[in-house]
Amino acid sequence: MKKWNLKKKSTNKYLDNFLKFKRDNEDLFSKEIKTLILKTANAIASSFANKNKSELIILAKLSLEFKK
């Protein structure tokens, strides 16, 4: 079986990388795209045993960033 993630990174590191990309490329993030990203993130988080505390925190950070 192929190992996709040889070095473990914390979820916060992935979120930080995404938010940096978003800030560097604001023109790519229309209101519609932001809405789709939030809906998709919520659906993924809810897909297995609903959302846990860490997922709620990440979704809140993402939502706050998109409101800037």
* Residue ranges of domains in the chain: 30-44+51-68
Predicted confidence at residue 59, as pLDDT, reads 93
CA distances from 28 to 6, 41, 54 (A): 30, 18, 27
Predicted confidence at residue 1, as pLDDT, reads 53
Full-model pTM: 0.75
Predicted confidence at residue 52, as pLDDT, reads 83
Mean pLDDT calculated for residue range 8-24: 88
The helix/strand/coil state of 16 is helix
Predicted confidence at residue 7, as pLDDT, reads 59
Residues 23-64: tens digit of each pLDDT: 999 999 999 999 999 999 999 888 887 778 888 899 999 999
Predicted confidence at residue 4, as pLDDT, reads 58
